[in-house]
């Protein structure tokens, strides 16, 4: 198949540190190439890929001081993609609603993976284009009525996450993610204090979250019980997760997937999470972690979580959340969409012939 992959431009593909969507797009794209597809990746020019790279701009926008209006580059990317639409069998968009007005204007079908949750505003655009084909990254994500052609869970490459049979001593809890109220780092701190455990935290602080970080997080960082390691790269992340006794996922929002849960389990570290969004689909309760109703309960589940088998956590990811599984899912959906399109055209030609 001739496939266009349309990535966000904020981070390179794959990302240097944080960037869940860019990581998924990278793994998907490279595996599709390995399986013999002809793939064009639309992404920032510093991206690294086995596919044919169409560089929209020379580097990831986040790192470029010269760029003032990010929307420009999204428009430029979509221009490039849809001007060349006829050259692809399918266009796979990872850029959300911005691709929607264009998708219905060309004959090449676009598959839209929903990487975010819906907002009060954004659901209006999605609902307007509800007949476009969508992939949800969890069943829980399907908060509005759209033409969902499947759920494809995000996949990671288990080899990228070395398995750690025994957590480090002295043991610690870990929180990894953006420092925004939605991800719940404030609850991770409360859980550490309630249980007396050490907590290591890492992740980026966006400008919009700087006040939250200063007020709710920074005062608790004592470099003894509560540590903040800043933004870390992939190798550091895999090590931090693998050496942890337990990963906390104390979210306060309807997480559409939650990549860090599978990254943690891949290294062998079980996850204690709040029952919101995708959590029930990602964690096998009582086997690879625990799903709790509130933050106090999360603290009380630590002893039970320590008894879980780390090898089973790893296998759970290998079986359900590998790149291979993910690419199997997307490949099947691409085929189905393209076949449906051909059947539709044939039916149309047949009807037209009968009328003649």
- 83 or 233: CB nearest a second copy: 83
Residues 6+ apart with CB under 8 A from 271: 246, 247, 248, 249, 261, 264, 265, 283, 288, 289
Residues 200, 207, 249: CA angle, nearest 5 degrees = 35
Cβ 81 to a second copy shortest distance, Å: 9
Gap between the Cα atoms of 283 and 246, Å rounded: 13
Among positions 36, 120, 169, 355, the unique one binding a second copy when judged by CB under 8 A: 120
The answer to whether the beta carbons of residues 47 and 107 sit under 8 Å apart is no
Could you write out the DSSP letters of every residue in 118-131? Answer: --TTHHHHHHHTTT
**Does residue 63 interact with a second copy by CB under 8 A?**
no
Residue 116 makes contact with a second copy by CB under 8 A: no
> Counting contacts by CB under 8 A, is residue 60 touching a second copy?
no
Q: Which is nearer to a second copy, 122 or 300 (by Cβ)?
A: 122
For helices 20-34 and 323-355, the axis angle rounded to 10 degrees is: 70
229 interacts with a second copy by CB under 8 A = no
For a second copy, the closer CB: 63 or 72: 72
Interface of this chain with a second copy, residues 76 to 95, rule: CB under 8 A: 76, 78-80, 82-83
131 near a second copy, rule: CB under 8 A: no
Report the alpha-carbon angle 166-171-173, nearest 5.
105
Contact flag: residue 224 with a second copy (CB under 8 A): no
* 347 interacts with a second copy by CB under 8 A: no
Q: With respect to a second copy, which residue has the nearer C-beta, 33 or 70?
A: 70
* Residue with smaller CB distance to a second copy, 23 or 114: 114
3-state secondary structure of 236: helix
262 close to 156: Cβ distance less than 8 angstroms: yes
Q: Which residues bind a second copy (CB under 8 A)?
A: 66-69, 71-73, 75-76, 78-80, 82-83, 97-98, 100-102, 104-106, 119-122, 124-125, 128-129
């Amino acid at each position: 198949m001739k496939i266009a992959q349309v990535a966000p431009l904020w981070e390179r593909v794959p990302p240097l540190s944080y960037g869940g969507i860019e990581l998924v797009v990278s793994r998907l794209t490279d595996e599709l190439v390995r399986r013999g597809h002809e793939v064009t990746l639309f992404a920032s020019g510093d991206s690294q890929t086995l596919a044919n790279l169409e560089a929209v701009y020379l580097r990831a926008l986040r790192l470029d001081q010269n760029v003032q209006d990010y929307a420009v580059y999204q428009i430029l990317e979509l221009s490039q993609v849809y001007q060349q639409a006829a050259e692809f069998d399918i266009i796979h968009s990872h850029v959300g609603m911005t691709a929607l007005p264009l998708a219905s204007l060309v004959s090449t079908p676009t598959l839209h993976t929903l990487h975010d949750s819906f907002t009060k505003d954004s659901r209006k655009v999605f609902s307007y284009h509800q007949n476009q084909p969508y992939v949800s990254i969890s069943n829980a994500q399907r908060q509005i009525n759209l033409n969902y052609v499947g759920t494809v869970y995000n996949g990671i490459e288990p080899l990228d996450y070395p398995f750690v049979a025994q957590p480090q001593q002295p043991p610690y809890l870990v929180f990894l993610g953006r420092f925004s109220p939605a991800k719940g780092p404030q609850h991770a701190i409360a859980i550490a204090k309630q249980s007396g455990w050490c907590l290591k935290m890492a992740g980026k602080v966006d400008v919009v979250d700087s006040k939250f970080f200063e007020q709710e997080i920074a005062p608790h960082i004592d470099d003894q019980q509560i540590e903040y390691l800043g933004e870390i790269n992939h190798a550091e992340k895999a090590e931090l997760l693998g050496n942890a006794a337990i990963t906390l996922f104390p979210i306060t929002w309807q997480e559409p997937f939650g990549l860090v849960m599978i990254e943690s389990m891949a290294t062998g570290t079980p996850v204690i999470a709040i029952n919101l969004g995708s959590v029930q689909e990602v964690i096998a309760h009582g086997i690879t972690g625990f799903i709790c109703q509130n933050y106090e309960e999360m603290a009380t589940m630590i002893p039970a979580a320590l008894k879980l088998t780390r090898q089973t956590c790893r296998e759970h990811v290998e079986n359900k959340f590998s790149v291979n599984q993910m690419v199997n899912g997307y490949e099947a959906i691409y085929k189905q969409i393209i076949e449906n399109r051909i059947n539709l055209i044939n039916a149309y030609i047949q009807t037209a012939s009968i009328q003649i």
